[in-house]
Structure 1
Amino acid sequence: MERVPDIHEKTFRDPDEATAEAAGLAWLAEAEETGGTRIARVLDHPQPTVLHLERIADGSPTRAQAERFGRSLAHTHAAGASHWGAPSPGFPTSGGLRMGRSRTPFTSTADAPASWGAFFAEYRIRDFVRRIVDRGGFDAAEAAVFDRVADRLEDGTLGSPQPRLVGDAPARIHGDLWAGNVLWPRDSSEPTGAVLIDATPHGGHAETDLALLALFGLPRLETVLAAYDAESRLADGWQERVELHQLAPLLLHVYLFGGSYTDHALRAARRYA
């Protein structure tokens, strides 16, 4: 008899958030056909604000699991996206292409920036900095630091190639790939090493996902990154760009929580301003 999966019930504040999460997980799961990392399944959508998700028994990763995850993540990214900032197909548009309580913005085809730098500058730096300033989180001098980084992103100074398998196109990134959203099945035979949850997927730079893995400490991170690089060669100097890509999650955390994240974001921004 086929085993019935354990269920994790997740409740959202509004129906659009539940729809966006289900659509995003389904979009990432499409990459499994070409070797991408396995995504936790949406089993049911019983109410507008409720999803039933597959529950994964999370454990500590073996070295082999970490290697498989690094290789499979490279193939998730290589599945690509239609444009910079593209949300998943089926993403609800009633909220103006923004997601969750952070109101993280995405882009339509008509508004798609021409480069990753232009996308990251406007939709991951300036958008959040404007809202943080409005709340009193940054003063004018502090906001100017981020504006200088955004200028350098837009003119291409801080740009870099995607990993080899991705090529010149936007990568299909998870978008919220901190350690807590990477589950390591206790059955370590999982072919892709890990299972991913709670995504904010969009068309972006693959290095953004890798930088977020490093931000809060992923177990066996060095093994994951080495396996990724072996599968899909990273552009030279990627280690020097980690904090640049971390500006996206740091600014989101400044907006939501403030506190020590404010100083952390400013320190990172000054490095690239």
Structure 2
Amino acid sequence: METYRKQASAEAIASEAAGLRWLADAGGAAVAELVDVGDTWLETRLMRPGTPSRDDAADFGRRLAATHAAGAGWWGAAPPGADASAQRLAELPAPMARAPRYGSFGEFLADARLAPYLRAAGALDDGERRVVGRAVDRIADGVHDSPQPALVRLSGHEAARIHGDLWGGNVVWERVAGGTVGTLIDPAAHGGHAESDLAELHVFGSPHLDATMAGYDEVSPLADGWRERVGVHQLHMLLVHVVLFGRSYVGRAVDIARKL
């Protein structure tokens, strides 16, 4: 078997390996097959890239809905067996909750996914920081909270089982017999809102994204107004990019914050 080896810090490797296992256990979207793990490396089965059709993209949406519906124990829950305090996203700290502590999605998003990166975003000037800070406060107050998609609600889980860093590059379209399968890689998996994964796919785009959204909504209808909430769920990823790459992402992040 041909494999792909990835090297990173011990914390990042442990986070990713736990996330891959947890997402695979959901039995929904395909997940990179974990072959072996060391302290600072992991190996996954090498995939053959393919070109997805609209049907392939729609099927990915349906499968992702099933992953989300597998649920999580609480907002900010880490994968089973993972150290909640040592989770990583692109080598940045991504702390999670060891036990239930957040009463709403907005409270979780603001405290655990926005405020830490706002504090670390040195590229923001004082005025920009105030704009983003006001948006974070409104999110914390629950102004933008919404129901989970239908399958998550039916599962009885408050929090969905999400990938947590689902930009288009973290979906590998693998060529297999009978088609091309959207396969999840590089997760920052946790208990969150299903709309976060879907909104993050829109940050940089994904092949036939409209078909993916239609496939998802077909089996797990999204709550009314989801399009207006896309920015809520993109702000975390954009702040992470401000921390990592500086001012090239500031304009987009601040524009979304102003709208919120």
Q: Which residue does 1:128 correspond to in 2?
A: 117
Total equivalences in the alignment: 256
Q: Hey, what does 1:169 align to over in structure 2?
A: 158
Helix, strand or coil: the match of 1:247? helix
Aligned mates of 2:3, 2:22 — CA distance in 1: 21
Unaligned runs of 5+ in 1: none
- Partner of residue 259, structure 1: 247
Paired letter, 1:196 = L
Paired residue for 1:24, among 13, 19, 24?
19
Q: Does residue 229 of structure 2 align to residue 229 of structure 1?
A: no
Return the match for 1:39 from 31, 35, 40: 31
Task: Select the residue among 202, 223, 238 that pairs with 1:214.
Answer: 202
8 A contact 2:11–2:86 mirrored in 1: no
1:133-190 residue CA offsets vs partner (Å, 9 max, x unmatched): xx3x223322221222122222221111110011161000001111111111222636
State the partner residue of 2:82.
91
* 1:200 aligns with one of 188, 192, 215: 188
Amino acid at match of 2:7: T
Give, in angstroms, the shift of residue 130 of structure 1.
Answer: 1.1
**Cα-Cα RMSD:** 1.6
Aligned to 1:144: 130
Structure 2, unpaired ranges of 5+: none
Other structure's SS at 1:185 match = strand
Aligned counterparts of 2:46 and 2:135: Cα–Cα separation in 1: 40
**What's the secondary structure of 1:108's corresponding residue?**
coil
Residue in 2 aligned with 1:11? 7
Q: Secondary structure at the match of 1:165?
A: helix
Deviations 1:53-109 (A, max 9, x none): 11111121012211110100000000001111111112135xx33414221222220
Query: How many percent identity over aligned positions?
Result: 45
TM-score scaled by length of structure 2:
0.94
TM-aligned CA deviation for residue 223 of structure 1: 0.3
Q: For 1:139 and 1:195, how far apart are their aligned partners in 2?
A: 38
**SS of 1:235's equivalent?**
coil
- One-letter amino acid of the counterpart of residue 204, structure 1: G
Length-normalised TM-score, structure 1: 0.89
